Structure 1
Amino acid sequence: MMKTKLTFYMIIITGTLITISSENWLSMWMGMEVNMMSFVPLINLSPSKSSAEASMIYFLTQSISSIIMLSIIMLIMMSYKNHIMFMILTMSIMIKLGSAPFHMWIPKIMNVMSWNNNIIFMTWQKISPLYLLNMIEWNYLMNISIILSVMLGSYGGLYQTSMRKIMAYSSISHLGWIMSLNKLKDCWVIYLTIYSLMVIIMCNYLMNSDLLYINQMFNVNMSNSQKMNIVIMMMSLGGMPPMLGFLPKWMVIEELMNNKSFVMIMFMVMMSMLTLFFYMRMTIKLMMFQTMINKWDKYNMEYSMIMFIMNLMLPISVTMY
């Protein structure tokens, strides 16, 4: 099983490297297909009815977007270039990304996938589509997708009880912020790197603690260190200053202000408050419950130190930026 996973992980990495190192659209499309065909078996490595359904949804969604993309690429290669062609190409990439309004399949498959697959899906699988999106001339479809992603990602997570669905809607919301940087420069790489670091630590902690639903966080046997870890990580993902998660959002606000996009800034900041609300809804209730375990065990202390160090890096990062 481990050798099989390692093989598919290597193919996924290879597919992404093919995409970002290619000089023509057809090679980029091929790299994305290699990436997609190696991720489908990873979803289905633990056979079950739900994993089979998730792998089928992922495969069909990606296949539809790939067919659209290949058709447009062939037309572009035959010199049929116009604004509508690039709009359709943008739409196909957004389907692959799972940005709004093409986002409904994201919470469905993330709710049944393992945490390891969710980490790959929320981080590495976004590199190739975002790289392609960065190569397309900016159009109004991107503005619409940014606004809808930030809005629906915030509203969608308000009444969720599943931690995986909350992470899914959070990912959709963050995707809107990342896409807004495509309009300006390659700062989306910095945002995606910081976001990936937070997601990896958060999902690893949830996986090791076996937390799948919010009500499991109210366990009386949870130590103070575990509670502190969850609070810090949730606030960082929500973009609460002075946590590290506030730095990439600060970058977006600064770049959009330089670009005179004040209306979009106000809208995105207001929607970010909703995202922060459904994180605080969990953490405030969690801190209200007293625990019977007061010691800081070695395992949880390591995660605490990682999160504290990450968030203390914010002033240094701001100075360097």
Structure 2
Amino acid sequence: MADPKPESQAESQPGPEAALQAPSSETPSARPAPQRRDPGSASAAPLTPGLIKAEILCVLALSLGAAAVSAAISFLGAVTAPGGLAQQSASLVDPQAAAEWPWLDLSRQVYSLVFAFAPVALVLYLLRRSHQSARTIGFDLRRPGHDLLTGPGLAALIGCGGLAVYVVSWQLGMTVTVRPSTLEEHWWQLPVLILQAVKNGVLEEVIVVGYLMLRLDQLGWSPVRAAVASSVLRAFYHLYQGVGMFFGNLVMGLVFCWFYRRYGRVMPLVIAHSVIDIVAFAGAVYLIGEVSWLPGG
């Protein structure tokens, strides 16, 4: 402990030399340092189970959870309509303007595509807020060779099986006639359909597999329980297509969840889903009406 300053030093006032050296009564070193706030201190609250559940509900309410509710309502309307499911139809990509205004249709198609990625941007932001990132769920370009090989392989496996389920269930009256596209023939028709397919792949796999599985893990759910929840959600937002496609997408979801657990990457699933939808949308343009066994001809 420092000794107190003796009173005899009271007369030692700063002289002219000291005054020249210290023109102000308070030296810079004596001034209190400004208080600096940690920019991350306000957002450092831990992710509690309650916050995780609320976050999941908000994300799904803004994206595929709302789609599941809409699909269930559409399904109820289809099964109660005269003629049964096989007499009903569902279109995935429709014109958004009259045929004589193709520029307006294109503008609205691009608008809907751009803002359809908003829930994905929200998910990536929420991951960053919780000190994670797109790399946490494997939504990145670290392994392009692996992703470009396994993605199309998964697409072939799921796509062939899904087509068989669709055709058989349609013949049994368990599925509506799905028309992937009813767009008019314009130069931008195929590019828009390809972008729609990529949008579906990114939106569904990032949210329903990568994000949801990660958050359910953090809630302490078992891998099987989380995979079932993810797959059931996927099946429900495809329910508007009928009972057969509900179960087909349920199986697809289980396979995709297993793959994600095995490799920890969502990017191959995005590629696989995009390839499946590109083939389906292109098939709507070039095959429906030309192939006799394909519904919708």
More helix by share: 1
Question: TM-score scaled by structure 1?
Answer: 0.31
Question: TM-score scaled by structure 2?
Answer: 0.33
Of structures 1 and 2, the one scoring higher in RCO (CA 8 A, sep 6+) is 2
